[in-house]
Structure 1
Amino acid sequence: MVSNGVLEFVREDDYIEYFLFPRLVAEDINEELNEVLLHVKGITEKFCENYIWHRDTFAVRARPGNAHLLSEGQDTKSMTCENKEELPAHSYGITHYGDNIEDEWFIVALLYELTRQIPGLIVRCVDGDGEFLLIEVANHLPTWATPENCHQCVYITNGALHLIENSTDTLPVLDGIQLIRDTPAAYRVSNDIENCISLRAGAYPARIKENLHRATAYVPVGVAALLKHKPALIASAIREFCSRDSVDMKVCRAMRFFPPENRVNTRITFTKCLYAMLAHSNYIPDRRTGWNLPHQGSKSFPEQCLGMKIACGFEILASQAKPNTDWDTNRQWLKYVDSLKSKGYFQDLIEGSKGYTQLMDAAKDYYRINLSEIRENSLIGQQLIDDLKSIDCNIEEFRKLEATLPPSDDDSWLAVSPEDLDKMLSERYGEQTANGDCEMTEKLTEFLAQKSSVDGVEATAPPVRPQRGVKKPKGKVHFAAEETDSPAGNNVDFDPDAFQTHVKNLLDLVIPEDKWDSNSDMSDYGDDTDIAKNIDEMHLIKTNTNLGMYMNQMDKELSKTTIGESFEKKPTEDAFDDIEDFTPVDIDLNTLKNMMESYQAQLGGPGPASNLFGAMGVRLRPPEEHKSED
């Protein structure tokens, strides 16, 4: 996927990069770096035991001090967020986690463990969103922390997160590492931040089993043998099946490598993410291929349908197989090496020497990750075919094991009810406090008092964590007139200040004190003189003549009705003892009552009331829940 003058590299954003900076004191830095790398690999193998990666595994490679020249030697954009500044000798890795973000947090847990077991190790990790650890703990960050002044300021060491306070200028990584080494306690984050990270990454590796799902599938014997030999192959097969295209569909009709004639039942281990992807990917196979699936109500249908999908995934992988790369004949690779030589990457070392070989291996790793046109699936497919030739596919042995297979795990976790979703959200973001009548009306008044332009009201809301991987467009209200091509006659003439004044005047209408000579709430409507007098004395009634005329006309019409009897009244107060037969209207309660009736009329769906509640930051349960509680 490299540009050839026309096409440009498209950067993927489902990755996590990690930089491991050990404390190097020996004269031979490269030798000491390799020793640390062996230690890292030993810890990783133990920590990642039985873990099924969705796409890439965790892998680190030694990088010399001049590794920044690797990115300078390329002619295209790197798919990662590496910059070209000079870094100290370190170990580096990148993992694409695809659709399963749990892989990213598992790597964070692993990085924490590495810093606990390797003294002096400092780790930096970023993903496609940048400093994603800060995004996760956004609600607990200090007030000075912003995206502009936190770039390259987040590090992990001694099993704890550290944040360096910085100006708007980007802090060089070399300076950040030195600050952490000199005074680590000064930059350690608060307990709230650590607890927030621990909720996502603290339960590993014990949590590995919780994310697994085991099920019986009826698959071709070759697939069963491959999965027994390498259980992790299930991830590649499911990914290929779920992302199949028209070319892959033709491959599935042929089934050249895994014909459906010889099938056996076998127990397969999935991650919950992989199982959900496979279960919700619908596919009807061609009967001419040999798939004789029973009807959907049959007891054996789930096992056979699951096995058919897995077999198709393996078939797609095998069809993509290509021989390994010949580095000596790859023109693009040779051009890249010449560019590295011209920039002094190999440091005048003799070709074939130990140091030269290490630098060459690092360059190959970088090229394979960032610049190679070779697809990862091609290498996996070739390895799959090679393994298929070498392993024993004894169908009789698998048939003997069928009788001892345990039942499949319960997959009811696939169905998430609204109550389960609310529970997960409350565990993630906390319970929301109940809103009282006064609080609701106060929020409404505050919302309507917001100053805004024609672009819309910017309502204040409690801070929430930004959604991962989503670029938020700037909010703007578009009028229909803006979308027409006519330059004249469709412009909107809108005065926001005048509109706000009118709305506020309507909300601030109050009845003046000690003017209560009526016998009922609505009797004053019969006296035009008193109506005019009361209106003149109303608080903040300084509006134009048209509005006053409309109000007068409305009062006259309402005076002939019994609408006043529908209002909710306030409890009698001493302040109105001198007024006969008067019970003041509870404005707050009436406002809330009308809004709730409007919300119930929407049956919990979208509408004016729910939109207004949402803008005020108020979340209401569906009307059905209130009925069930009553």
Structure 2
Amino acid sequence: MDNIFENRHDVVDTVKYSIYRDFQSLSPGNSLTPAQWLLAAQDFAAEALSYVSQWTSEYIWHKDPFTLSVEQVEDIDVPCVRGTTRFGDCLEDEWLIVSLLVEITRKYPDAVVGVNDNDGEFLLIEAADFLPSWVDPSTSENRVFLHGGVLHMIPIPRTPAEIPLYPSGKVSLQRALAVVRGPAPTEAPSEIQKVILERLAGYPGAAAKNMHNAKCYIPHKIAHILHHEPALVAPAVEAFYTRDPIAMKACYKMEQFPPTTNVMTTVRMNRPQYAQLVSQKFHPPKPFRLPPSTAKDFKYHDLGMKLACGFEMLFADQHLQNLSEQSQGYTVESYNCKVDPGWQAFQVRLNKLNYFRNELPGSKLYKELERNAQTQYLRTKPQTSSTTLSNPIDRIRALLELPLVAEEDLSQAPDMNDRWMEVDPRKLDELLNEQNLKFPEENWTKLDRDDDEMSDMDDEDRRDMEELAKMMGGFNSFVEKESGIDGALFPNEMEPEENSEEDSEEEDQHFPSRRTGSDSKAPLRFDESRFLQTMMGVLGINPDDLGQHNNKGATERDSVDEDIFQKRRKDTRFEELVSEDDNDAADRKEDEVMGSYMREMDRELSSSKMGSTFEKVAPSTSQGTGDDEEAEETAPVDLDLNLVKNILESFSAQEGLPGPAESILSSLGIRLPKQKARSSQRQ
């Protein structure tokens, strides 16, 4: 029963990481006491955070930052350093953390790191195409680590000589760490290493590309809060994005952050957070007065209104309010570290480790490093919990007690272009080509159109016509294609392997009638003399002996047999010609009958409600005007036009959600942009 609930506290989209160091090897000759182990782990956690801050000081995490805390592990006798980060919809946070862990293992050669998320060993999932056959979720536990800047996989012994080197079956954490640090090779295969390195290319420095600066009008208090702690934009955006009707009640009055004090400033956030704010259709509450949507600065007012509502809902969150009121622990803002001897001793050790990186006291980086160190120190106190330290309400209250920052001191960084939110058709085509989902060019049937008609179209209309032509061509080629015994094959599926050329040539030599192509329609030929020689050879008859005994009267019999054979041959050929004429006549008669049936059905459907829904071929201009109505009623249905119309109607009715039209188009390798589908449907 305990196993059922052992992961009940797991949160979706969360990455967990553990760093194991052998502190005993760093102080040879001296056996460390448990207290010394704890101090060494605490110093390492603070030092590691200081080391990675060169990449994370300006980074805005989506939900939780990269943190390290000292914990005791049951499987090993010494404490380790662990952390947990919720990355939510921002996968860049997860891979940034992996790159930071890789950098830590490069700086500290004895460090061994284990990292996983809700999916398990996601590093192995990334390289799933190159994994050995023995790897599965049950055998990979305590076998995958980061060490020395590369990925390590403890293999299962395959020979008796490998049994002393690698553990078989379930492996303990203590044994796994010893194997990774030992002399036995445990580095993952080069193909797996290549996939991981390609995914981490440019990291951790490349994480700066995930940042976005956006100008907006926000209340002066919020601008003051973000000026001191830009990371608080993350819980505010999360509160706005996950709002419910109860949380929306706080926005009806905007008591804490009234919009009457709005100021212009630049807010730094990550791209997913910006997309979550911009993409939401949100009607402004009553306290807000936004300019018309056609105004030049409407975007700034709309974005600031959403962000202000997020802070208002965050500050009014009852759950966070309860945590703040019920907590008996310390916070960085409320605890006076300067009078604590324990903090003073911890700060001395940090100075010896060059934790502050020669920064002057009072500088921006020094204050940030000092706050991180104080957070790390308070985590070791039994009255303090990680929830108390990360409660955004307590941090907001502490910042609001400070004097408001002057408006001219607020950030006025230039607004960044948000073109990255638009989907580039070329990049989409490249992605489809990489996934082998796009038809080869020779399989597409091009649209039959006149150059005069195309001359009046712009580039966008031409692209639309080409997309429609590809759609019709893809459906036609799929429908007309013959299916095999296993069913129809979609364009991105492989054809079954045919017989090799050598087998075909060998069959052609022994069985000439089995040739393919134009030769397959050739009539069968029977060589009488060759057949007779073959039969005589099988029966063991000598042709010379047979000729000596049957010389007499042979000429007469041969002439008679030849006449009979020629006569039968002529009669057979005549019967074949007569049969072919009869078959052709029957086929023509059958086609005429079927055509008459189809015309009668067309006339009946043309007068019904169902028939009026079909698009028909336009009547020719050469017809008389008196028969226009009748010609229009009996005109044949335009199959291609109806196909495109029905597909676009179905695709538009999905409203961006999965549906049959999207599934069919995806199977055929066609990717129809949602906006284009809607615009085509409106036209």
Bin for the TM-score computed over the shorter chain: 0.5 to 0.7
- CA shift, 1:418, in A, is 4.2
* Equivalent-residue separation in structure 2 for 1:442 and 1:284 (angstroms): 52
Q: What is aligned with 1:297?
A: 294
Candidates 104, 121, 127, aligned match of 2:111: 121
- CA shift, 1:40, in A, is 1.4
> What letter matches 1:308 in structure 2?
M
> What letter matches 1:261 in structure 2?
T
Instruction: Tell me the alpha carbon deviations over residues 398-444 of structure 1, each in whole angstroms, 9 at most, x when there is no partner.
Output: 5xx79xx45421112212144433335556x589794987x999995
Q: Kindly tell me: are residues 620 and 285 of structure 1, through their superposed partners in 2, closer, same or farther at Cα, counting changes over 3 Å? A: closer
| Pairing of 1:120-269 with structure 2 (within 5 A) | 120-166=110-156, 169-183=169-183, 186-269=185-268
Instruction: Tell me the alpha carbon deviations over residues 430-480 of structure 1, each in whole angstroms, 9 at most, x when there is no partner.
Output: 89794987x999995374399xxxxxx9x9889xxxxxxxxxxxxxxxxxx
- 1:412 matches 2:408: no
Indicate the SS of the match to 2:146: strand
Candidates 66, 69, 89, aligned match of 1:61: 69
Instruction: Tell me the alpha carbon deviations over residues 240-296 of structure 1, each in whole angstroms, 9 at most, x when there is no partner.
Output: 111112222111112111111111100111211110000012221233x2x111110
Maintained 8 Å contact 2:15/2:85: yes
> What letter matches 1:392 in structure 2?
L
Q: What is aligned with 2:336?
A: none
Q: Kindly tell me: are residues 413 and 326 of structure 1, through their superposed partners in 2, closer, same or farther at Cα, counting changes over 3 Å? A: closer
> What letter matches 1:409 in structure 2?
M
| Pairing of 1:571-590 with structure 2 (within 5 A) | none
* Equivalent-residue separation in structure 2 for 1:256 and 1:610 (angstroms): 46
- CA shift, 1:166, in A, is 3.0
Instruction: Tell me the alpha carbon deviations over residues 65-113 of structure 1, each in whole angstroms, 9 at most, x when there is no partner.
Output: xx33xxxxxxxxxxxxxxxx45753211111112211110000000000
Q: What is aligned with 1:343?
A: none
Q: Kindly tell me: are residues 406 and 394 of structure 1, through their superposed partners in 2, closer, same or farther at Cα, counting changes over 3 Å? A: closer
Q: What is aligned with 1:313?
A: 310
Candidates 420, 424, 429, aligned match of 1:422: 429
Q: What is aligned with 1:385?
A: 397
* Equivalent-residue separation in structure 2 for 1:285 and 1:242 (angstroms): 15
* Equivalent-residue separation in structure 1 for 2:402 and 2:48 (angstroms): 31
Q: Kindly tell me: are residues 238 and 622 of structure 1, through their superposed partners in 2, closer, same or farther at Cα, counting changes over 3 Å? A: closer
- 1:445 matches 2:481: no
- 1:107 matches 2:97: yes
Q: Kindly tell me: are residues 425 and 191 of structure 1, through their superposed partners in 2, closer, same or farther at Cα, counting changes over 3 Å? A: farther
> What letter matches 1:24 in structure 2?
F
Maintained 8 Å contact 1:599/1:609: no
> What letter matches 1:142 in structure 2?
P
Q: What is aligned with 1:483?
A: none
* Equivalent-residue separation in structure 1 for 2:377 and 2:483 (angstroms): 65
* Equivalent-residue separation in structure 2 for 1:227 and 1:33 (angstroms): 33
* Equivalent-residue separation in structure 1 for 2:233 and 2:51 (angstroms): 25
| Pairing of 1:209-608 with structure 2 (within 5 A) | 209-287=208-286, 289=287, 291-320=288-317, 321-322=321-322, 323=324, 325-327=326-328, 368=385, 379-395=391-407, 397=408, 405=412, 407-424=414-431, 434=440, 444-445=483-484, 447-448=486-487, 514=523, 526=581, 557=587, 560-561=590-591
Indicate the SS of the match to 2:53: helix
Maintained 8 Å contact 1:17/1:94: yes
Indicate the SS of the match to 1:91: strand
- CA shift, 1:227, in A, is 0.9
Maintained 8 Å contact 2:213/2:413: no
Q: What is aligned with 1:476?
A: none
Maintained 8 Å contact 1:220/1:264: yes
Q: Kindly tell me: are residues 129 and 518 of structure 1, through their superposed partners in 2, closer, same or farther at Cα, counting changes over 3 Å? A: farther
Maintained 8 Å contact 1:220/1:263: yes
* Equivalent-residue separation in structure 1 for 2:577 and 2:103 (angstroms): 75
Maintained 8 Å contact 1:61/1:92: yes
By relative contact order (CA 8 Å, sep 6+), the higher-ranking structure is 1
Maintained 8 Å contact 1:217/1:265: yes
Which piece of structure 1 moves more, 135-144 or 168-177? 168-177
In structure 2, runs of 5+ residues without a counterpart are 158-167, 331-375, 444-476, 496-518, 526-571, 594-639, 652-658, 678-683
In structure 1, runs of 5+ residues without a counterpart are 69-84, 330-357, 451-456, 463-509, 532-554, 564-595, 626-630
Q: Kindly tell me: are residues 88 and 598 of structure 1, through their superposed partners in 2, closer, same or farther at Cα, counting changes over 3 Å? A: farther
Candidates 26, 37, 41, aligned match of 2:45: 37
Maintained 8 Å contact 1:525/1:556: no
Indicate the SS of the match to 1:99: coil
* Equivalent-residue separation in structure 2 for 1:135 and 1:394 (angstroms): 50
- TM-score computed with the length of structure 1 as normaliser: 0.60
Q: Kindly tell me: are residues 98 and 614 of structure 1, through their superposed partners in 2, closer, same or farther at Cα, counting changes over 3 Å? A: closer
Instruction: Tell me the alpha carbon deviations over residues 179-201 of structure 1, each in whole angstroms, 9 at most, x when there is no partner.
Output: 111136x2212333223222332
Which piece of structure 1 moves more, 379-388 or 114-123? 379-388
Q: Looking at CA atoms only, which structure, 1 or 2, has the larger radius of gyration?
A: 2
Maintained 8 Å contact 1:222/1:388: yes
Count of residue correspondences: 445
Q: What is aligned with 1:572?
A: none
Q: Kindly tell me: are residues 295 and 433 of structure 1, through their superposed partners in 2, closer, same or farther at Cα, counting changes over 3 Å? A: closer
Which piece of structure 1 moves more, 233-242 or 189-198? 189-198
Answer 1 or 2: which has greater helix percent: 2
- CA shift, 1:513, in A, is 6.0
